[in-house]
Amino acid sequence: MRPRALAREIVDRWAAARLAHVTVTSLVAPPPRAFASWGAGSIIVPPARVESPECIHVGAGVVVHEHAWLAIEHRPGLPAPVLRVGNDVRMNRFVKIECAGSVELGEGVLLADRVHISDVDHPALKTDDGPRPDSASDPRPVVVGPRVFIGSGAVIKSGVTIGEHAYISANAVVVRDVPPRTLVAGSPARAVRQWEPSDEERG
């Protein structure tokens, strides 16, 4: 290999290594002290993206898996957004939570891969050039009750409250409230069945 070509290859490899380092470093979660609150035993697995950790409350025993994205959006004229993650919450890979106002995950919530939760909507407006995304709507609080399971690829829209022990099927699009202990499926999601609390829950 000619010296000039060799030098160019070395420079390219160095640039690629530096880009990889910068990318990985930027996806390392902030330290616990950067969060509004941080519970014992919680962990965020890199690479993950966390914005404005000072607006995020993390309970104890929380696990956020790789490639999750906690997206906090500050808006002029509105109070600072708040994301509350309860004790023992599990977020699997590629979960994205958009919070411009208030999002709350109760104790023991389990989010499967690619779940998307947002307290804002992004409507499409028709123009002469066809549909285009408009600016996001005003935030409406999202509340996910304790011990809810949300299946892979499900979408939870703004203003939705999900009751405790509910089960959201894979790829469901939840646009309205879900009662406790209710299985929902489809797009838009509809109730499939409900169940009574167990003796253990009553006790």
CB 71 within 8 Å of CB 97? yes
With CA atoms as reference, report the closest residue to 87 among 112, 70, 104, 107. Answer: 107
122 an active-site residue?
yes
CB 136 within 8 Å of CB 156? no
Instruction: Please tell me the distance from the alpha carbon of residue 70 to that of residue 49, in angstroms, as a whole number.
Output: 6
User: Which entry of 57, 65, 74, 122 is annotated as an active-site residue?
Assistant: 122
Terminal-residue alpha carbon distance, the chain: 76
Instruction: Please tell me the distance from the alpha carbon of residue 151 to that of residue 10, in angstroms, as a whole number.
Output: 46
List of residues 6+ apart from 7 with CB closer than 8 A = none
Active site residues: 122
